[in-house]
Amino acid sequence: MNRYSLWKYAILLVAVLIGGLYALPNMFGESPAVQVSVAKASLKLDLGTVTRVQEALKAANINPEIVSLDGNSIKARFASTDIQLKAKDAISQALNPDAANPSFVVALNLLSRSPAWLSSLHASPMYLGLDLRGGVHFMLQVDMQAALSKKAESLAGDLRSAMREKSIRHGGISRNGQTVEIRLRDAAMVESAKRLMQDQFPDLVVAENVDAGETKLVASIQAVAARKVQEQALKQNITTLHNRINELGVAEPVIQQQGLDRIVVQLPGVQDTAKAKDILGRTATLEIRMVEDGAEARAAETGTGPVPLGAERFLERNGAPVIVKKQVILTGENLTDAQPGFDSQTQEAAVHLTLDAKGARIFRDVTRESVGKRMAILLFEKGKGEVVTAPVIRSEIGGGRVQISGRMTTMEAADTALLLRAGSLAAPMEIIEERTIGPSLGAENIAKGFNSVTWGFAAVAVFMCLYYLLFGVISSVALAVNLLLLVAVLSMLQATLTLPGMAAMALVLGMAIDANVLINERVREELRNGAAPQAAIHAGYDRAWATILDSNVTTLIAGLALLAFGSGPVRGFAVVHCLGILTSMFSGVFFSRGVVNFWYGRQKKLKSVSIGTVWRPDGGSGTALSVDGEQ
Amino acid sequence: MEFFKIRRDIPFMRHALVLNGISLITFLAAVFFLFSRGLHLSVEFTGGTLMEVGYSQSADLSAIRSTVDALGIKDVQVQNFGTAQDVLIRMPAQKGGTAGQQSETVLAALKAADPSANLRRTEFVGPQVGDELATDGLKALAFVVVGIMLYLAVRFEWKFAVAAIIANLHDVVIILGFFAYFQWEFSLPVLAAVLAVLGYSVNESVVIFDRIRENFRRYRKMNTVEIIDNAITSTISRTIITHGCTQLMVLSMLLFGGATLHYFALALTIGILFGIYSSVFVAAAIAMWLGITREDLIKGQVKKETDPNDPNDGAQV
């Protein structure tokens, strides 16, 4: 009656083995490392870069433990923090000869010491949260109202020029909050204005107000279009943040959307919050200027002559110098969108720019006068300008739709479009939550969490072994398996472990023992009532199961609520709590039953069970070690 | 070893009125303190800036306080955190957009006063986030209450669901009462602890209810009071041992977890102690007063009744 079939034992064994394997990387700890990744999307890491890193280290007389190329980064591991810092400088000097314009991000990181065969099985240690490793956490709120107002402003401009083209006379177009108001006197004009808006401005909903002979058309942005504006604003801000954070040299930054209008930025290991904040909040500007191409400029480009008056020297992204006039034609404010795409005739890769009405007008005038000349699009960040692209004007461009094409790969087109879009934040952001944790505090928190779990576990295990003897030992082993599986699952999911998460781990172990206490008490009770040992074990497990299930479901409901409504620290707690309840069902019931069955199940004439004292009210108490069963 | 050598069922229900009276008084006291003193909410809920600063020697709190006051920041709280060298500075949310910079100005001032000051941790929470956290916390509480009630109502009967929820919400209110009375800091981890306790002490009620149901089926001659007494008596050893084990874990957190986990562990300790009390004395008694009967639990299970030896009898998933 107390036997498991072979396949059940097989499942147990496999589960414990896999659990052990995936929990194993956590045992090795982490070593200081230097991580190299690309700072510009157009660059790629390859084996050549790995060799450069290795040579740089050799030249500096530093022996790395391991240098490996792993997806998008090269990681070099070192024995101590001192060597790590030296190595970072050496690598940084070798890869980024021009410190002002780095091509690679060289960052400090921690790397698991687990052997390569474990990593090749994708077994990696749990991801430590900021409170355990130190770092900065920001939550930024994007001002969506500002994004919508900006959109309304540009639509008002567009409307103005469209009405001029159609010769619709109006008494003024103005933006009022997020709506555009158009005043018209003539009924015929009202009609044609409405038709125009229907045809050319599908994003607007129009309401009509007649007031003292004057008709006021109030156009507001449609809900769908507004949502799209907000999504784009958020996406653009995230892209911009990505570019800026690359500069900070953070090994594993997390930049995530949260909710509809928030962005969470986590920078593990960064201590300089002031600098981080400065970089996050910085605004980049985009400028369009004409390229100076006289003979003097040519000479200046090659470096043989001085830069002509009224011009400046900038570098293109590939490092080629360009001499650009100081006069600004357009700024990023007039650029509403930039998307990669293809030329409709030549099928070459291209970047499509969309300008607002004012931009389109200026652009048309400028291009009409300068066919055959080059114009430069510059991106200014931190006061440092860079030429994103400098195309030749082929013909007059009207209508605000500009295409840049020629000698571009699809990849380059995508990069350029991204840079142009990232040039400015779509909407202003505000830091609404900030958390900084120093690295020493992180290490202390790990020790605190670890000690809590270890000592709590030891105390419970000692008590169980004393009180329930062999059954207590089995319960303790089951509890250890629970911990093992929990750590394994967390490692497999690469869930973030935080200090509240470690607290949840301790708590869930304390709660998980409940299942075994229930079972053991039930078995004792059956024995007390005179059941045979085998029958008592069987009945004990079976009767306890319904109760265990009930109590775990109620605990799980609380866990899920925390997961659904919690944020930050509560979420870390809830993840571990929920997973722990699930693994405890497996280990507390299925695994411990397996061990009991394995131990006692084969004995046909089982006389006694080692479960501690079975006291009987009639005085017929069992011995301290075991109780005689009635056969 | 056996701690519980109980010869006869303990007549818990005989004293139900007195015990529930005590419960009611504790509950009312907790509510009174909640309203009169209020919770000492952490910056996570109120919005504001929190800084943990470490010094190489014991920190001079009044000096730090005057340094911060000199910066013109109002209502600043300065206290030790964990050790004498560590100081926790709490500043309420300031009007204007410079709140994020506040910690830097303060740190600069502290460093000027004592160069050994080093920033261990800062936390800045904007007021809008704080409000959200509070509403999310209430939502989570509502979700747990409704979820558990539904589950118990389906699994047992509505009277049990009502009894369990009243008993366990009374635990929650008492924990909050403790936090209000002692003005302990109520932070997000404490909220998590409170909700975890809610789920956990419902377990306790569930174990007893399970036994009551089983007894109704098994002992046809006993009346409701006897059945409840028997159910509590036969599960009391498990109740105490389980809670003892959980408490061992929590104690370990209280001892080794440091200042960050202190209030979390404290909330759990109170929750566990009152969890035992309320499940044993309050939940069962309320169920009794609501008038649970054998028919309530056995209806619709006629088929199963014919097989009392089935160990899975009564189990439904």
pLDDT (average), residues A490-518: 90
pLDDT (average), residues A265-285: 72
pLDDT digits (tens, 9 = 90+) for B289-307: 888 888 777 665 444 444 4
Q: A447: closest CA among B247, B122, B260, B250?
A: B260
Q: Do A499 and B261 touch (CB under 8 A)?
A: yes
8 A C-beta contact, residue A316 and residue A377: no
Structure tokens at A600: 């006692």
Chain A residues with CB-CB distance to B155 below 8 A: 550
- Looking at the complex, report in whole angstroms how far the Cα of residue B31 sits from the nearest Cα belonging to chain A: 23
Instruction: Look up the CATH number of the domain holding residue A487.
Output: 1.20.1640.10
At residue A322, the pLDDT reads 86
Chain A residues with CB-CB distance to B104 below 8 A: 273-274
Whether A169 is covered by a domain: the verdict is: yes
Q: B105: closest CA among B91, B116, B95?
A: B91
Half-sphere exposure at residue B90, Cβ-oriented, CA atoms within 13 angstroms: 15
Q: What's the complex ipTM?
A: 0.84
List phi, psi (to 5°) of B103.
-60, -35
Q: Are residues A219 and A345 in the same domain?
A: no
Residue A374 pLDDT class (50, 70, 90 cuts): confident
pLDDT digits (tens, 9 = 90+) for A583-595: 999 998 889 999 9
- CB-closest option in A440, A511, A556 to B246: A511
Domain boundary among A68, A92, A113: A113
Q: Do A434 and B189 touch (CB under 8 A)?
A: no
pLDDT digits (tens, 9 = 90+) for A254-263: 888 888 888 9
Contact B251/A at CB under 8 A:
yes
Contact B136/A at CB under 8 A:
yes
Report the C-alpha gap between B48 and B103 in whole angstroms.
Answer: 10
pLDDT (average), residues B195-213: 85
Domain count within chain A: 4
Whether A238 is covered by a domain: the verdict is: no
pLDDT digits (tens, 9 = 90+) for A343-353: 878 888 888 88
Q: Exposed, middle or buried, A604 (CB in 10 Å: 0-12/13-18/19+)? A: exposed
Residue B96 pLDDT class (50, 70, 90 cuts): low
Query: Where do the DSSP E strands lie in B198-298?
Result: none
Return the number of CB contacts < 8 Å for A and B.
252
AA letter at A537: I
Chain A residues with CB-CB distance to B6 below 8 A: 617
Q: Are residues A222 and A319 in the same domain?
A: no
List phi, psi (to 5°) of A265.
-120, 125
Chain B residues with CB-CB distance to A438 below 8 A: 54, 118-121
In the predicted model, is pLDDT for residue B97 greater than 60? no
Q: List the single best residue of A525, A565, A581, A626 to mutate versus B (max B Cβ within 10 A).
A: A565
Contact B131/A at CB under 8 A:
no
Half-sphere exposure at residue B280, Cβ-oriented, CA atoms within 13 angstroms: 23
User: How much of chain B, in percent, has pLDDT values that exceed 70?
Assistant: 91
At residue A42, the pLDDT reads 64
Chain B residues with CB-CB distance to A569 below 8 A: 188-189, 192
- CB-closest option in B144, B234, B257 to A557: B144
At residue B204, the pLDDT reads 83
pLDDT (average), residues A562-581: 87
Instruction: Look up the CATH number of the domain holding residue A319.
Output: 3.30.1360.200
Would B12-40+130-305 and B48-125 be classified into the same CATH topology? no
pLDDT (average), residues A207-227: 84
Q: Do A467 and B1 touch (CB under 8 A)?
A: yes
- CB-closest option in A452, A518, A564 to B252: A452
At residue A629, the pLDDT reads 40
Handedness of CA A279, B46, B128, A501 (dihedral sign): positive
Q: Are residues A411 and A478 in the same domain?
A: no
- CB-closest option in A277, A456, A566 to B252: A456
- Looking at the complex, report in whole angstroms how far the Cα of residue B290 sits from the nearest Cα belonging to chain A: 22
User: How much of chain A, in percent, has pLDDT values that exceed 90?
Assistant: 14
pLDDT digits (tens, 9 = 90+) for B152-179: 888 888 888 899 888 888 889 999 999 9
User: What are the boundaries of each domain within chain B?
Assistant: 12-40+130-305, 48-125
Report the C-alpha gap between A117 and A111 in whole angstroms.
Answer: 15
Contact B52/A at CB under 8 A:
yes
CA distances (Å), origin B106, targets A180, B70, B71, B90:
45, 10, 8, 11
- Looking at the complex, report in whole angstroms how far the Cα of residue A581 sits from the nearest Cα belonging to chain B: 11
pLDDT (average), residues B42-52: 84
Q: Do B241 and A452 touch (CB under 8 A)?
A: no
Q: Are residues A592 and A468 in the same domain?
A: yes
Contacts of B152 (CB under 8 A, 6+ apart): A554, B160, B161, B164, B165, B202, B206, B209
| Average pLDDT of every residue of chain A | 82
At residue A424, the pLDDT reads 54
Report the C-alpha gap between B82 and B89 in whole angstroms.
Answer: 13
- CB-closest option in B140, B152, B245 to A561: B140
At residue A336, the pLDDT reads 73
Report the C-alpha gap between A420 and A330 in whole angstroms.
Answer: 13
Nearest-CA residue of chain A relative to B262?
A503
| Domain extent at residue A34 | 30-113
At residue A40, the pLDDT reads 66
The larger pLDDT score, comparing residue A8 to residue A287, is at A8
Whether A566 is covered by a domain: the verdict is: yes
CA distances (Å), origin A324, targets A82, A291, A329, A590, B138:
45, 4, 12, 75, 60
At residue A284, the pLDDT reads 60
Contact B317/A at CB under 8 A:
yes
Residue A618 pLDDT class (50, 70, 90 cuts): low
Nearest-CA residue of chain A relative to B136?
A565
Q: Do A436 and B119 touch (CB under 8 A)?
A: yes
Q: Do B192 and A569 touch (CB under 8 A)?
A: yes
Q: Which CATH architecture has domain B12-40+130-305?
A: Up-down Bundle (1.20)
Specify the CATH number of the domain B48-125: 3.30.70.3400
Question: Which positions 62-91 of B are in contact with A (Cβ < 8 Å)?
Answer: none
Q: Do A452 and B200 touch (CB under 8 A)?
A: no
In the predicted model, is pLDDT for residue A541 greater than 60? yes
- When mean pLDDT is compared across A8-17, B93-102, B220-229, the lowest value belongs to B93-102
Q: Are residues A422 and A443 in the same domain?
A: no
Most confident of A165-174, A402-411, B224-233: B224-233
Question: Strands of A349-355's sheet, edge to edge?
Answer: A335-342, A349-355, A401-405
Whether A382 is covered by a domain: the verdict is: yes
pLDDT (average), residues B144-150: 88
pLDDT digits (tens, 9 = 90+) for A471-488: 999 999 999 999 999 999
The larger pLDDT score, comparing residue A554 to residue A484, is at A484
At residue A426, the pLDDT reads 63
pLDDT (average), residues A301-329: 81
At residue B307, the pLDDT reads 47
Whether A494 is covered by a domain: the verdict is: yes
Q: Are residues A474 and A379 in the same domain?
A: no
In the predicted model, is pLDDT for residue A304 greater than 60? yes
Q: Are residues A472 and A409 in the same domain?
A: no
Q: Are residues A327 and A411 in the same domain?
A: yes
- CB-closest option in B124, B125, B252 to A506: B252
Q: A391: closest CA among A344, A351, A355, A337?
A: A351
At residue B306, the pLDDT reads 44
- Give the number of other Cβ atoms within 10 Å of residue A613's Cβ: 20
CA distances (Å), origin B33, targets A487, B42, B138, B172:
41, 18, 19, 14
H helices present in A405-498, as ranges: 410-422, 439-493
Whether A19 is covered by a domain: the verdict is: no
Contact B250/A at CB under 8 A:
yes
Q: List the single best residue of B146, B253, B272, B304 to mutate versus A (max A Cβ within 10 A).
A: B253
Q: Give A184's strand partners.
A: A215
At residue B188, the pLDDT reads 86
At residue A459, the pLDDT reads 95
pLDDT (average), residues B280-287: 86
Q: Do A562 and B188 touch (CB under 8 A)?
A: no
- CB-closest option in A430, A551, A558 to B198: A558
- Give the number of other Cβ atoms within 10 Å of residue A322's Cβ: 23
The larger pLDDT score, comparing residue A577 to residue B120, is at A577
Q: A84: closest CA among A131, A128, A35, A50?
A: A35
Q: Are residues A487 and A607 in the same domain?
A: yes
In the predicted model, is pLDDT for residue A370 greater than 80? yes
pLDDT (average), residues A309-324: 81
Radius of gyration (Cα) for chain A, nearest Å? 34
Radius of gyration (Cα) for chain B, nearest Å? 25
Q: Do A567 and B136 touch (CB under 8 A)?
A: yes
pLDDT digits (tens, 9 = 90+) for A17-57: 999 999 998 888 878 888 888 776 667 788 888 888 888 88
Instruction: Look up the CATH number of the domain holding residue A179.
Output: 3.30.1360.100
At residue A247, the pLDDT reads 64
Q: Are residues A572 and A482 in the same domain?
A: yes
Instruction: Look up the CATH number of the domain holding residue A84.
Output: 3.30.70.260
Structure tokens at B67: 């340094």
At residue A471, the pLDDT reads 92
List phi, psi (to 5°) of B297.
-95, -25
- CB-closest option in A542, A573, A615 to B2: A615
Q: List the single best residue of A132, A457, A507 to mutate versus B (max B Cβ within 10 A).
A: A507
Q: Are residues A445 and A418 in the same domain?
A: no
Residue A172 pLDDT class (50, 70, 90 cuts): confident
Q: Are residues A426 and A447 in the same domain?
A: no
Q: Give the three-class secondary structure for A184.
A: strand
Report the C-alpha gap between B298 and B314 in whole angstroms.
Answer: 9
pTM greater than the 0.90 cutoff: no
